[in-house]
Amino acid sequence: MKKTNLITAILGIGLITYYLTSCNSCNRRDIAYELVEVDSTGIDASFRARDNQPLVLAKGPVWETWKKLHKACMENAFFRNPTYLGLSNTVDLGSVYSKSGDVLEWDFNKLFSDQDRKKVINFGQPQPCTYTEQLKVDFQSFLATELPSTGVEGELSAAIRNNKDISVKIDNWQIDNLVKRELKMLLDSSTNPRVMQFKKDLLEKKMIMVSQAARINGFSSIIKLETDMSASLEAKLKEGIVKNIGNTQAKIKFEYSTSKEIKVTTQGSFVVFVDFIRAKRVND
C-alpha cells in the first residue's frame, strides 16, 4: 500500500511539474498580448455548441429578422461582429472553442472559482424595448419551436401557418460580457496549473472565447388569423399551450386573445447572438 501511495505521489508531482514547465513561458510577464475581437465570418460553419448541438451560421431570413430586432432595440450597444447562434444552442459566456469553432476546449465555469467568475463576468442591466417588427418568415422556425401536425395543437400549427399577420417584439434584453482587463489580470497572476495551460492554449492555439452575449429576457408576439379559430382550439388556448424553445431552458406560451387573435409570450431567457475574442501576441 505504501509503495502504491509513493508511486501515486511521484506521478502527481510529475504531472504538476509538467504543467508548470510547459506553461511557464505563457505566464512570463514579458510576453505582451491583448484580447481582441474575432470577426464572425472567420468561424467555420461546422461549429458545434454544447452537447454536439449544431450552431446555425447561415445568414438567411430568420437571421436577418433577429438581427434587425436586436439592432433596433440595442442600437449602439449591439456588437460590431455578432455571431448568430440560433435559439436551439446553449453557449456560455467564457466558453472557449478551437480556432475553427468546432470543439469546446475549455468550460469557463469549471476552470475558475465563483469568486473569480464574479470579478470577470459583468451581467448587464435589463432594458425595455418598444420596437415591433412584422414577421415575414415561418413563425415556428423563427422561435425554433415545433408543434405537432395533429390534434388541437395541429390546429394551432395550421392557424399560425395561414396567418393574416404576425407582429414580433423583444420586450426586455441585456448585454452580458467578460471584463477583459480583469480576465487578463487573472490569467497573468494565476499559479493554478490548469489556468496556466488554459492561457497557453489561448496564445498558442489561437482559440476563441465567448466574450459577450445578447440575452433576450422577454419576447412577445400577436398572431392575427384569417378566420375564427375552432371552439376546441379556443378552449385549449384559454388554458395556455406551452412549448420548448429549441434546446434552451426557455418556454413559449400561446394564449387566447380573441377568436381571430393569439397572444404569444416567452418564459425564461435565451441568447441569439454572441461575440468572440482571442488572445493575440503584440506585434504578431
Identify the band that residue 81 occupies on the pLDDT scale cut at 50, 70 and 90. Answer: confident
**Residue 45 to residue 47: CA distance in whole angstroms:** 5
Q: What pTM value is reported for the model?
A: 0.78
Taking only the tens place, the pLDDT of each residue in 36-78 is 888 765 554 444 444 444 444 456 788 889 999 999 999 999 9
Q: Which residues lie below 8 Å from residue 170, measured CB to CB, with a gap of 6+?
A: 69, 70, 73, 129, 131, 216, 218, 219
Q: Dump pLDDT digits (tens) for 109-121.
A: 888 899 999 999 9
Residue 135 above 90 pLDDT? yes
List, in sequence order, the alpha helices (H) in the chain.
2-23, 61-74, 108-111, 114-120, 139-142, 151-161, 180-189, 193-204, 231-239
* Contacts of residue 245, Cβ cutoff 8 Å, sequence gap at least 6: 87, 88, 143, 144, 145, 251, 252, 266, 268, 270
Residue 66 is placed in which grid cell?
433577429
Q: How far apart are CA 180 and CA 127, in angstroms?
A: 23
